[in-house]
């Protein structure tokens, strides 16, 4: 019985470890080129395992992410991309993109 309690406690402590996200967040990148506005839909599927699938321009990439306070560091080849987790649960990224949970 004591071993079962210790194992349960160890699992609870492990579960309270790193903060994670879970679910699909989507939004649009909006850019102006000359007199035209271009809107590109993007989506990020966060998994509690620390992986995120990014769908941008019809191309999907799976990479690692970590949460550091209110910052989400998406680890990509070359340089990490930093997003901000806002109090209302939305995510703000580079180039003004705002991702909302679906």
SS3 84: strand
Whether the predicted pLDDT of 31 surpasses 90: no
Identify the structural domains of the chain with CATH numbers, from first to last.
Answer: 20-101 (2.40.128.640)
Question: E strands, 20-70, where?
Answer: 23-33, 36-46, 51-56, 59-68
Please state, rounded to an integer, the average pLDDT across all residues of the chain. 82
- pLDDT value at position 18? 59
User: 74 in helix, strand or coil?
Assistant: strand
Q: What is the pTM of this model?
A: 0.74
Q: What is the pLDDT of residue 100?
A: 96
pLDDT band at 24 (very low <50, low <70, confident <90, very high): very high
Percent of the chain with pLDDT over 70: 82
């Amino acid at each position: 019985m004591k071993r079962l309690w210790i194992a349960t406690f160890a699992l609870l402590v492990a579960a309270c470890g790193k903060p994670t996200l879970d679910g699909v967040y989507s939004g649009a990148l909006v850019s102006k080129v000359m007199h035209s506005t271009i809107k590109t839909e993007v989506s990020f599927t966060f998994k509690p395992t620390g992986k995120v699938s990014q769908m941008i321009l019809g191309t999907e990439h799976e990479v690692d992410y970590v949460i550091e306070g209110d910052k989400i560091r998406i680890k990509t080849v070359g340089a990490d991309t930093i997003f901000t987790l806002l109090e209302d649960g939305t995510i703000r990224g580079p180039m003004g993109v705002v991702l909302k949970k679906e």
